[in-house]
Structure 1
């Protein structure tokens, strides 16, 4: 069993890393923001309740985090953006010189994620 101070430090480290990745995602096209903030809120709930509360109350991203927690909801705009990025990634991957199995397996995995994503309720 991990001692409480170490456990809290690990949860906080994960939360801060995910907030940092989310902030990078705000300015870097193709890197999602909200999924990282979802993980940050989850990790914050385990080791940093103040950060979790701040994320849930955030004026721009708090509603998305709360909707995910309450209903597993994903906004339609986010579904379209994710689907578009996965399609673009699949096309680039298919045109790359990688092994055939990789050029087929990764787009298939992305297709499964897209189906799962579109089956989620909308915000």
Structure 2
């Protein structure tokens, strides 16, 4: 079972790293899931992730009080706006744009309703 948790954790870290450069893919949720998986599979990787100078503080903020840092909120908002703008420019069907608008609005509401760290 530990191997499955390890594979899941490594996959989440890979997806988080891809999310750093792709605005469509979120970074922090994958890091949180990776920390969860590593806690069940590898103490060494769990410690590495929590002590990482960039990712560690975000995970600690979430673990301690469910907080998201203001720069991360701004980056997420900008990414969501860019993705939605691309959809509009690409002429995506109205139904899809409306669904996207509802889902992305819910995501933004969740992000901005979290406390700042």
- Scaled by the length of structure 1, what TM-score is found? 0.83
Q: How many angstroms apart in 2 are the aligned matches of 1:24 and 1:88?
A: 17
SS of 1:59's partner is coil
Query: Please, which runs of 5 or more residues in structure 2 have no aligned partner?
Result: none
Query: Please, which runs of 5 or more residues in structure 1 have no aligned partner?
Result: 1-6
Q: How many angstroms apart in 1 are the aligned matches of 2:30 and 2:78?
A: 19
Q: How many angstroms apart in 2 are the aligned matches of 1:101 and 1:24?
A: 28
Match status 1:22 vs 2:34 = no
Q: CA deviation at 1:99?
A: 2.6
Q: How many angstroms apart in 1 are the aligned matches of 2:17 and 2:91?
A: 32
Higher relative contact order (CA 8 A, sep 6+): 2
- Scaled by the length of structure 2, what TM-score is found? 0.87
Give the one of 57, 61, 67 matched to 2:51: 57
Q: How many angstroms apart in 1 are the aligned matches of 2:109 and 2:19?
A: 23
Q: How many angstroms apart in 2 are the aligned matches of 1:105 and 1:55?
A: 35
Runs of 4+ in structure 1 displaced over 4 angstroms?
Answer: none
Cα RMSD (Å): 1.7
Map of 1:108 onto structure 2: 102
Larger-Rg structure: 1
